[in-house]
């Protein structure tokens, strides 16, 4: 009976492979295959991780695009987040479930930004879409830890409150507990749009002040009547709150001239509520879309001036005290002796029936009103 060693020697003499050599070769081959597989798997994981990072970057770009597009839409079409159709929308997405975002996307460019990230964008209702975004691992990105989301039909106040929207985007790497994570925050956009709000509000107020000043110059210098019947002699031309004419029914009425007296030849008797001199408490505070439209149209400035930098509707007090507080009563309509209607006067013939409690100068104020208080506002003092 031949031993294994003798068989090996016999096979070697015949020029074949020994059994030991075959075993060793198979072992080496197995190790090599294992190594190749490990390298290949690692390479696949690296690529999938890189693909996932790219997708996350595109998702964060889509979040920024959504923010900017939604604000622009509210400015152009809604004059604020409480005006239809924007009252059904939100600047920021909400989370439906771990892998699905609910996003208000009224513009095509915002929808394209999500599709560019490889996401599935499905219409839910109105302009609300369900969005699911795949990762590079064959499953979907997940969302969690949402903070300070915008609620529909409310002002967006995150920028003023210094409470940015945040959302965590993540995916778990298959075969382990390791995950790829990113956190997107609106903080840098809120800061940018805060400055934008400041400039927009100041631009609106400066336009109102310039209108007011130009009206005073016209009445004082080019529309003078005889003494005691209007013009400078009546002392009212520098006191009448001409800003109210900005709520006139059209631009022609907004430019109509009035010397200060009630009757002809220099009278303002035709300047009633329905035309120019809107002597009504309704116009002590302007906070409707129609009124804002009228003001910006009469001023000849862009419709975006109806809102702050975040798309919130502005509230304007065309006539306020020096601290910006709304008056409780109305000043008199123009009179020959308008000074009789101010503190120190006798109140004779004044339309409010008594002396008006506030001395000039008057103030204009514009900002975002939430409840009974301004969240943010700016003031200008009218020339007198």
Quote the pLDDT of residue 53: 84
Least confident segment among 2-16, 115-129, 154-168, 294-308: 2-16
Task: Check residues 124 and 319 and name the one with the higher pLDDT.
Answer: 124
**Does residue 336 register a pLDDT over 60?**
no
Please state, in angstroms and rounded to a whole number, the distance separating the CA atoms of residues 281 and 274.
Answer: 14
Is 45 exposed, middle or buried (CB count within 10 Å of its CB: 0-12, 13-18, 19+)?
middle
Quote the pLDDT of residue 84: 93
* 105-163 tens-digit pLDDT: 999 999 999 999 999 999 999 899 999 999 877 789 999 999 999 999 999 999 999 99
- Region 64-81: what's the mean pLDDT? 95
Quote the pLDDT of residue 180: 84
Q: What is the DSSP string of 305-360?
A: GGB-TTSPBPEEEEEE-TT-PBPSSPPPPP-TTGGGGSTTS--TT-TTSS--S-PS
Please state, in angstroms and rounded to a whole number, the distance separating the CA atoms of residues 63 and 81.
Answer: 19
Phi/psi of residue 165, each to 5°?
-70, 135
| Residue 231 pLDDT level (bands cut at 50, 70, 90) | very low
Top mean-pLDDT range of 65-69, 295-299, 369-373: 65-69
Please state, in angstroms and rounded to a whole number, the distance separating the CA atoms of residues 352 and 358.
Answer: 13
| Residue 350 pLDDT level (bands cut at 50, 70, 90) | low
β-bridge mates for residue 317, sequence order: 365
- Region 1-5: what's the mean pLDDT? 48
| Residue 337 pLDDT level (bands cut at 50, 70, 90) | low
Going by C-alpha positions, the residue among 170, 161, 55 that lies closest to residue 116 is: 55
* 188-225 tens-digit pLDDT: 999 999 999 999 999 999 999 888 888 777 666 665 55
| Residue 230 pLDDT level (bands cut at 50, 70, 90) | very low
Q: Establish how many alpha carbons lie within 13 A of residue 185's alpha carbon, considering only the half-sphere containing its beta carbon.
A: 9
Please state, in angstroms and rounded to a whole number, the distance separating the CA atoms of residues 146 and 98.
Answer: 11
Please state, in angstroms and rounded to a whole number, the distance separating the CA atoms of residues 54 and 234.
Answer: 73
DSSP SS3 for 247: helix
User: Residue 310: CB partners within 8 Å, gap ≥ 6?
Assistant: 71, 91, 155, 156, 157, 158, 159, 193, 197
Go through the chain and tell me how many residues it has. 384
**Does residue 103 register a pLDDT over 50?**
yes
**Global model pTM greater than 0.85:** no
Top mean-pLDDT range of 113-117, 239-243, 334-338, 343-347: 113-117
Quote the pLDDT of residue 28: 63
Least confident segment among 65-74, 245-254, 373-382: 245-254
**Does residue 329 register a pLDDT over 70?**
yes
């Amino acid at each position: 009976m031949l031993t294994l060693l003798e068989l090996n020697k016999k096979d070697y003499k015949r020029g074949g492979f020994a059994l030991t050599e075959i075993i060793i070769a198979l072992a080496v081959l197995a190790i090599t295959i294992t190594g190749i597989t490990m390298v290949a798997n690692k390479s696949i994981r690296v690529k999938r991780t890189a693909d996932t990072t790219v997708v996350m970057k595109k998702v964060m770009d889509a979040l920024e695009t959504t923010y900017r597009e939604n604000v622009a839409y509210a400015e152009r079409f809604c004059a604020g987040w409480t005006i239809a159709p924007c009252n059904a929308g939100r600047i920021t997405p909400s989370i439906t479930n771990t892998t699905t975002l609910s996003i208000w996307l009224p513009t095509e460019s915002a929808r394209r930004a999500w599709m560019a990230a490889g996401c599935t964008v499905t219409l839910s209702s109105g302009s609300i879409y369900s969005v699911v975004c795949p990762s590079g691992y064959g499953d979907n990105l997940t969302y969690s830890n949402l903070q300070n989301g915008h609620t529909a039909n409310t002002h967006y106040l995150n920028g003023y409150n210094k409470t940015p929207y945040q959302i965590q985007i993540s995916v778990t790497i298959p075969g382990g507990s390791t995950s790829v994570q990113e956190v997107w925050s609106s903080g840098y956009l809120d800061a940018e749009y805060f400055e934008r709000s400041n400039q927009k509000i100041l631009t609106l107020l400066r336009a109102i002040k310039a209108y007011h000043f130009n009206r005073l110059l016209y009445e004082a210098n080019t529309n003078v009547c005889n003494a005691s019947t209007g013009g400078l002699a009546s002392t009212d031309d520098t006191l009448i709150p001409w800003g109210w004419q900005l709520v006139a029914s059209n631009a022609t009425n907004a430019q109509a001239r009035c010397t200060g007296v009630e009757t002809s030849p220099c009278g303002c008797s035709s300047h009633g509520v329905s035309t120019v001199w809107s002597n009504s408490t309704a116009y002590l505070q302007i906070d409707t879309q129609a009124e804002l439209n009228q003001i910006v149209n009469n001023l000849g400035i862009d419709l975006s001036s109806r809102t702050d930098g975040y798309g919130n509707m502005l509230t304007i007090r065309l006539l306020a005290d020096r601290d910006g507080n709304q008056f409780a009563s109305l000043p008199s309509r123009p009179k020959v002796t308008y000074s009789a209607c101010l503190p120190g006067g006798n109140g004779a013939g004044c339309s409010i029936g008594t002396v008006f409690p506030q001395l000039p100068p008057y103030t204009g104020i514009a900002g975002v009103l939430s409840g009974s208080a301004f969240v943010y506002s700016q003031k200008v003092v009218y020339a007198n």
